[in-house]
Amino acid sequence: MGMTLTEKILANRAGLEHVSPGDLIVAKIDIAMATDISSPLTIKVFEEMGGEKVFDTRKVPLVHDHLVPAKDIKSAEFSKIMRNFAREQEIEYYYEVGRSGISHQLLPEQGLIHPGDVVLGADSHSTTYGALGCFASGVGSTDMAAAWILGETWLRVPESIKIRFTGTLPEWVAGKDMMLMVCRDLGLEGGTYRALEFGGPTIENMPMYDRFVFANMTIECGGKNGVVIADEKTREYLRERATKPEEEWMFFEPDEDARYCRELNYDVSDLQPMIAKPHLPGNVIPVAEADPVHVDQVYIGSCTNGRIEDLRIAAEVLKGRKVHSKTRMVVVPATETIYHQMLKEGLAEIFHEAGASIGPPTCGACFGAHMGVMAKDEVGVFTTNRNFVGRNGHTESDVYLVSPAVAAATAVRGVISDPRDVVG
C-alpha cells in the first residue's frame, strides 16, 4: 500500500521506509517555534525537565507576536522571560518587537520552513507552514519543552483526508472562500487528528499567499496538520529566502495507491465570495445570501489574511472610496516587512484616505486581547480564522469571517457586502 504526502514526510524524518495511520513514531524536528505568550510556560517546563541547552540554536525560533507592543505589565513580563531566554540560549532566530511579525507568516517569509520538514509550534495555527509541503502542527508546552531538549518528538501517524479543487476561480473569489467551504463540509470535528492534504489543478495554479490559507485553517476542522503538495511555485517562493540549501529541500508526492479515510472534491468555477456567520468557522453561506447586517468594525490582518497580497486586494476595493461613517476599520499587516512594503506601494495612503486605522504587526485583535477588541452587542467582519463566542472580545459580540475583498467592501457600505456589488 502506498503512502499519502503526510505519511511520506513522517516516514522520512523518522528514518523509516513505511508508516501507516496509527503507527507511533519518533521524528526528527527541523523547527520548534514558540511565541511571547507560549514560551514562558515552555521555558518553565524546560527547566523543570533539567534542560540546559536547546538542541539546536538555529531550530528554535522565538517570536514576539501575540501581545505586542506589550499591552500591560503582565504581557511585558511574558516578553521579558522569552527575551532573557533567547539571550541566555544564544537563539539565532529571535524576533524582537519592531523586527518581527505574526509567527505563522514571519517564519515562511524569513525562509525558515522548507518542503519535507517536521515543524512544531506552540500555537494551534502552526499548521500554516504545511503550505510549503511540510508536516507542521501545534503542540503544548510539555511537548515543546521536550522537543527543545531532544530535537525530536513522538507522534501517532494521522489518517489523511484528500481535498481536491478543480476549475478557475471567478473574480473576487479567493483561497479563503474555498477554505470556508471546506470548513462548512467538515465541521469542527470532521478532520480531528487527521491530515488534510490539499491538491488539484486549482491549487496548482494558485500563488503561495492563497495556499497558506488552507493549511492555516486546517485546525478549524480539527486537523492534526494540513499540507499542500510542494511544486515549482513553492520552489520559486523559497529560492529568494530559504535558509537551507536547495539540495536539502525534500519534495514528496502522494502515491497513486495511497489510502485516504475520506475524499472531498470541488469545482470552484461558480464559487461565490463566502462568509462564516457567528459563531463557527463552518457556519458558511455565500455573502450574497447574508442579511445586510450593520457592521461596527472591519478587521483585516492575522496569520490567515495579513499578507501584502491581501492588503493589495483590500486597497483595490477601497481606492477612491471611504469607510462608512458608522463603521471603523482596522488594518494590521502581518509582519514588519509587509508593513514596509505596504508603505512603499502607497497602500497605507489608500487606507488612511479611506479612514482606516493601521496597526503594528500583532495577533492581538484575532484572539481578543488588544488592538481591535469587540464590545458588547457589536458586530465585526474579520479576515481571521475563528469566530467562536468571546474569541474576539465580548461574549455578546458577533464576528463574521471573510476574505479581504469582502471585508473591504463591507467597510465601504457599513453592512455585510459582496465586493462585486461595490466594484462591479
Q: If pLDDT is split at 50, 70 and 90, which confidence band does 289 have?
A: very high
Averaged pLDDT, 340-358:
97
Question: 157 is written with which cell numbers?
Answer: 501517524
For residue 131, being part of any structural domain is answered with yes
- In contact, 261 and 161? CB cutoff 8 Å: yes
pLDDT, tens only, 169-189: 999 999 999 999 999 999 999
**Type of residue at 146:** A
| Whether residues 252 and 377 fall in one domain | no
DSSP for 108-151? HHTT---TT-EEEESSGGGGGGGGGSSEEEE--HHHHHHHHHHS
Helix ranges (H only) for 225-375 are: 232-239, 302-305, 308-318, 336-344, 347-354
Is the pLDDT assigned to residue 365 strictly greater than 90?
no
For residue 54, being part of any structural domain is answered with yes
Is the pLDDT assigned to residue 364 strictly greater than 90?
no
- In contact, 408 and 312? CB cutoff 8 Å: no
Other CB atoms within 10 Å distance of the CB of residue 261: 14
- In contact, 132 and 97? CB cutoff 8 Å: no
Q: CA-CA distance, 171 to 379, in Å (whole number)?
A: 27
Q: Count of domains in the chain?
A: 2
Q: CA-CA distance, 309 to 286, in Å (whole number)?
A: 23
| Whether residues 236 and 115 fall in one domain | yes
| Whether residues 30 and 132 fall in one domain | yes
Question: Among the three residues 237, 266, 295, which one is the final residue of a domain in this structure?
Answer: 266
Q: CA-CA distance, 335 to 324, in Å (whole number)?
A: 27
- In contact, 215 and 226? CB cutoff 8 Å: yes
For residue 3, give Cα distances in angstroms to 127, 230, 370.
Answer: 20, 16, 44
Other CB atoms within 10 Å distance of the CB of residue 99: 12
**Type of residue at 104:** H
For residue 271, being part of any structural domain is answered with no
pLDDT, tens only, 52-99: 999 999 999 999 999 999 999 999 999 999 999 999 999 999 999 999
| Whether residues 237 and 292 fall in one domain | no
pLDDT, tens only, 300-318: 999 999 999 999 999 999 9
Other CB atoms within 10 Å distance of the CB of residue 139: 22
Averaged pLDDT, 139-149:
97
Is the pLDDT assigned to residue 320 strictly greater than 90?
yes
- In contact, 189 and 181? CB cutoff 8 Å: no
Question: Among the three residues 211, 235, 266, which one is the final residue of a domain in this structure?
Answer: 266
Q: CA-CA distance, 328 to 412, in Å (whole number)?
A: 10
For residue 272, being part of any structural domain is answered with no
| Whether residues 188 and 127 fall in one domain | yes
Averaged pLDDT, 268-285:
96
Q: Which residues pair with 24 in a beta bridge?
A: 156
For residue 259, give Cα distances in angstroms to 64, 118, 263, 280.
Answer: 40, 21, 10, 30
pLDDT (0 to 100) of residue 368: 86
pLDDT (0 to 100) of residue 150: 97
Nearest 5°: phi and psi at 114?
-140, 155
pLDDT (0 to 100) of residue 131: 97
pLDDT (0 to 100) of residue 5: 98
Range of the domain at 337: 277-423
| Whether residues 214 and 342 fall in one domain | no
Is the pLDDT assigned to residue 410 strictly greater than 90?
yes
Helix ranges (H only) for 323-379 are: 336-344, 347-354
| Whether residues 283 and 365 fall in one domain | yes
In the chain, the percentage of residues whose pLDDT exceeds 90 is: 96
| Whether residues 217 and 309 fall in one domain | no
pLDDT (0 to 100) of residue 269: 96
Q: If pLDDT is split at 50, 70 and 90, which confidence band does 369 have?
A: confident
Q: If pLDDT is split at 50, 70 and 90, which confidence band does 371 have?
A: confident
| Whether residues 211 and 301 fall in one domain | no
- In contact, 91 and 57? CB cutoff 8 Å: yes
pLDDT (0 to 100) of residue 34: 97
Q: CA-CA distance, 131 to 321, in Å (whole number)?
A: 34
Averaged pLDDT, 352-373:
92
Question: Among the three residues 266, 296, 324, which one is the final residue of a domain in this structure?
Answer: 266
pLDDT, tens only, 373-402: 999 999 999 999 999 988 989 999 999 999
Q: CA-CA distance, 112 to 106, in Å (whole number)?
A: 9
| Whether residues 260 and 134 fall in one domain | yes
Is the pLDDT assigned to residue 1 strictly greater than 90?
no
Q: CA-CA distance, 358 to 371, in Å (whole number)?
A: 10
pLDDT (0 to 100) of residue 366: 87
| Whether residues 58 and 186 fall in one domain | yes
- In contact, 359 and 250? CB cutoff 8 Å: no
| Whether residues 157 and 14 fall in one domain | yes
For residue 247, being part of any structural domain is answered with yes
- The CATH number of residue 178's host domain is 3.30.499.10
